[in-house]
Amino acid sequence: MLSMIAASLLLAHPALAQDLTPPPVVNGTTTSDYPAVGALLACETRGCFQFCSGTLIHKKWVLTAGHCDDASLSGYDIVFMVGRDVYNIDDYAYVSRMIQHPDFNLSQLRNDIALFELASNITSVDPMPLNFDTVNSSWIGEELTYVGYGITEDDAYDNGYKRTADMPIFDYDAQFIYAYDGADEQNLCSGDSGGAALEHDGGSLELAGVNSWVAGYDVPGKSCVGGYNGVTRVDQYIEWIEGYVDLSDT
């Protein structure tokens, strides 16, 4: 089944098949680290395509963006995979249920968070711990590590590879953590939605944010290149997550 999914992705995305070593995520780097961060695939008989990213927070639960629970995907089988790219799948499971936050608002991208329940456990990688600490002003200037499988610039077709970038926080509010990297022009882009913004807590990593959106800043007509981003604060949704996920049994 793993080889079938990988092969079908080649058919679904010929642009990906032509370049197996694409440039890194908007001036970040490709990586095989952060094994709990994976890709979400929509599959049918003709093949699969990668549409979002997500993070395994329990052997049977994935945390992702609310807008990744898209009604247009209703005719597809949804698969969560872990591995360095969609051609090298280490493990996978079908998604049995998608639970969008009840107050999700697409037009305003509020409460942009969702839980995807897996039909079977993924035990080959350790789930990512969540950040329980309240985001505050001491976080400003701190770098988070962003991980996703998205494209490397506006209008590109090179998604499906795990990429990472470290970007400094410049602000936050009740919904989002905001990051902007004017020096290296690193950013998120399409397909990174639902992926991870990781905080370095001592020697360990914790999931502090869920990749949500990007906006243009430096480059006219561009949102990803030279832009900034917002990630949904995980600490604001711990109670909602625990309503479904037993975080003591990961």
Strand partners, 83: 89
Could you tell me the residue ranges of all domains in the chain?
Answer: 2-14+35-127, 137-235
Low-confidence ranges of the chain (pLDDT < 70): 1-28, 152-156, 183-185, 190, 216-226
Predicted local confidence at residue 93, as pLDDT: 98
Class of domain 2-14+35-127 (CATH, top level): mainly beta
pLDDT tens column, 127-168: 999 999 999 999 999 999 999 987 766 666 778 889 898 989
**Maximum C-alpha span of the chain:** 50
Calpha distance 165→228 (Å, rounded): 13
Strand partners, 42: 49, 78
Predicted local confidence at residue 10, as pLDDT: 29
Pick from 129, 99, 237, 98: nearest CA to 176: 237
* Fold match, 2-14+35-127 / 137-235: yes
Predicted local confidence at residue 24, as pLDDT: 37
Residues in contact with 220: Cβ distance below 8 Å, sequence separation at least 6, in sequence order? none
Predicted local confidence at residue 157, as pLDDT: 72
Question: Angle at Cα 110 formed by Cα 114 and Cα 246, nearest 5°?
Answer: 30
In single-letter form, the type of residue at position 58 comes to H
Element (H, E) at 8: helix 2-12
Class of domain 137-235 (CATH, top level): mainly beta
Please name the residue that has the structure tokens 């243009």: 216
Neighbours of 168 (CB within 10 A): 16
Q: Which two tokens stand for residue 90?
A: 């280490």
